[in-house]
Amino acid sequence: MLTRKQHELICFISDRLEETGVSPSFEEMKEALNLKSKSGVHRLISALEEREFIRRLPNRARALEVLRTPERPDRKVTPIGTAKPKATASKSLPIAANDVVEIPLHGRIAAGLPIEALEGQSTLSVPAALLGSGDHYALEVSGDSMVEAGILDGDYALIRRTETARDGEIVVALIDEDEATLKYFRREGAMVRLDPANRSYDPQRYDPRQVRVQGRLAGLLRRYD
């Protein structure tokens, strides 16, 4: 059994997620329940977690997932990224649209350093809406070889890990297990061609055995100082 305040809070969170896709802030929850302090909200959230009505999503700021509601206590919410069973017609409650995820930041993409050598240095906070399914990491772009694709020096390239690519996709390619580069990937006869997006640079051609795809561009972050 939930207390009256716990019941009010789970309903408030559920309604807000269904209406806007955004978790209410602790300040909004405090005001909605007429509580004197945010510590009361924290206690209610912890109690709802213990009773498996909600859960806090790891590595995400202000993100709550409603697992079930008091009105329909047996209804489970399908996690994001998984298919619903065909037998059910229940509606999933949305994950907050303002979710932020932490992904590895592997440093600047530069000659002489394969991606593996940069792992574990730091992390970057990224809006979850910029990422799809799969495992991701970030690289700080160095140079101007991709400016005509809108990728500038100092941008953060968000990369989905994969070892395959289709023609025309922007990839992180490791050349001769030594030099990492961000380029358009194309096949040209028996060769692999890596195209810059800058007329000042020439395409690079390699034997396929020299090139290992380490990811595809999934998004871009830019800092304005």
Give the integer Cα–Cα distance in Å for 204 and 152.
Answer: 20
* Same domain as 153, residue 105: yes
**Does the pLDDT of residue 192 top 90, yes or no?**
yes
Classify residue 214: in a domain, yes or no: yes
Give the integer Cα–Cα distance in Å for 24 and 66.
Answer: 12
* Same domain as 107, residue 158: yes
* Same domain as 110, residue 158: yes
Look up the pTM and report it: 0.55
Q: What does the block give as tokens for 30?
A: 């405090």
**Angle formed at CA 86 by CA 85 and CA 92, multiple of 5 degrees:** 55
Classify residue 94: in a domain, yes or no: no
* Same domain as 177, residue 107: yes
**Does the pLDDT of residue 1 top 70, yes or no?**
no
* Same domain as 190, residue 122: yes
Classify residue 110: in a domain, yes or no: yes
Tell me the one-letter amino acid at 195: D
Classify residue 152: in a domain, yes or no: yes
* Same domain as 178, residue 118: yes
Q: How many domains does the chain contain in total?
A: 2
* Same domain as 191, residue 135: yes
Classify residue 74: in a domain, yes or no: no
Domain containing 189 equals 100-221
pLDDT of residue 51: 82
Classify residue 72: in a domain, yes or no: no
* Same domain as 115, residue 211: yes
Q: Kindly give the residue spans of alpha helices, DSSP state H, lying in the chain.
A: 4-20, 26-32, 38-50
Classify residue 92: in a domain, yes or no: no
The per-residue pLDDT for range 194-218, each reduced to its tens digit, is 999 999 999 999 999 999 999 999 9
CB 60 within 8 A of CB 100: yes
pLDDT of residue 165: 92
pLDDT of residue 90: 38
CATH number, domain containing residue 179: 2.10.109.10
Any idea which of 29-43, 52-66, 104-118, 165-179 has the lowest mean pLDDT?
Answer: 104-118
Question: Residue 27 contacts by C-beta under 8 Å, 6 or more apart in sequence?
Answer: 38
DSSP three-state, residue 103: strand
The helix or strand, by DSSP H or E, that contains position 206, with its residue range, turns out to be strand 204-206
Tokens 């290992």, residue? 212
Q: Which residues are known catalytic residues?
A: 145, 183
Classify residue 88: in a domain, yes or no: no
CATH number, domain containing residue 23: 1.10.10.10
